[in-house]
Amino acid sequence: MDQTNRMTPDEAGNAARGATLVSTPGAAADKPTLRRSMLRRRRETEAGERLKAGERLLAVARKAGLIGGVGPVGEMRSLGESGLPVGPDRTVAAYVSMGTEIDLRPLLGALLASGSRVIVPRLGTGLDVGWSELRSIAALTSPGAGRPSEPMGERTLGPEALSQADLIILPALAVNVDDGTRLGRGGGWYDRALAHASPAAPVIAVCWPWEVTHDPLPREAHDVPVDAALTPDGITMIGRVAGATSM
């Protein structure tokens, strides 16, 4: 990840508000305590800041080659030396941001424009795991308060649809970039969903820059580690794809 002494306007604002990298009291911190801390900090962001962060996130993704495209001789671009499979005729499982999350619409739109097939969560009832194909940002509609928007008029795909994904992009409240531990919102939805993922599909977690940490995060047996942390400030490769150059 690009770490320089120069601060972006957003970083300066974070510093003025007293924001730092994730602050966790070591392994003693429990998930509910950390979630409350992360969500409290996120509530300080505004809609315009979240959209601007989403645009910066897209710029980072483009620079890293995460947004696939066809070159002059038809070659597929990939993410640095990691060979993450993105571009035309590839399936990317992503999500529709909500609340205080970084606005993912710029990234989703760019993935669609690149020719990637994009699927996003369709929550169904209770704790059901499902997906729907996203064909345009304009097709997104809200199913109700407290739930992310979903593609209107698209059929629900079963949990096994995730097995078709070549790349998985999911949200996080915090990511340990040493071991890939991801702190989620606590519903366990992605824990159940990732059971259907292809072992070959890299998993990228999106979070705010201050939510990337080297501090220990609570981790349970069912928690699936991620392969990269993507923020508006850069991308850090972890584990099996850490050989790629971080940006």
pLDDT at residue 89, as a whole number: 73
Contact (Cβ atoms closer than 8 angstroms) between residue 175 and residue 205? yes
Q: Which pLDDT score, from 0 to 100, does residue 126 have?
A: 60
Cβ distance 217 to 24 under 8 Å?
yes
Task: Look up the pTM and report it.
Answer: 0.80
Q: Are 135 and 150 in contact (CB under 8 A)?
A: no
E-strand spans in 13-130?
A: 91-93, 117-121
DSSP 143: -
Give the pLDDT confidence score for residue 46 in this predicted structure: 96
Give the span between the Cα atoms of 158 and 167, in whole angstroms. Answer: 18
Mean pLDDT by 10 residues, the chain (247 residues): 33 34 48 91 95 96 73 34 58 94 96 93 74 94 79 89 94 95 85 90 95 91 89 89 51
What does the pLDDT read at residue 227? 93
Residue where the block lists tokens 């801390």: 37
CA distances from 159 to 20, 122, 133, 209 (A): 37, 10, 13, 30
pLDDT of res. 173: 95
Residue 137 near residue 108 (C-beta atoms within 8 A): yes
Q: What is the pLDDT of residue 124?
A: 67
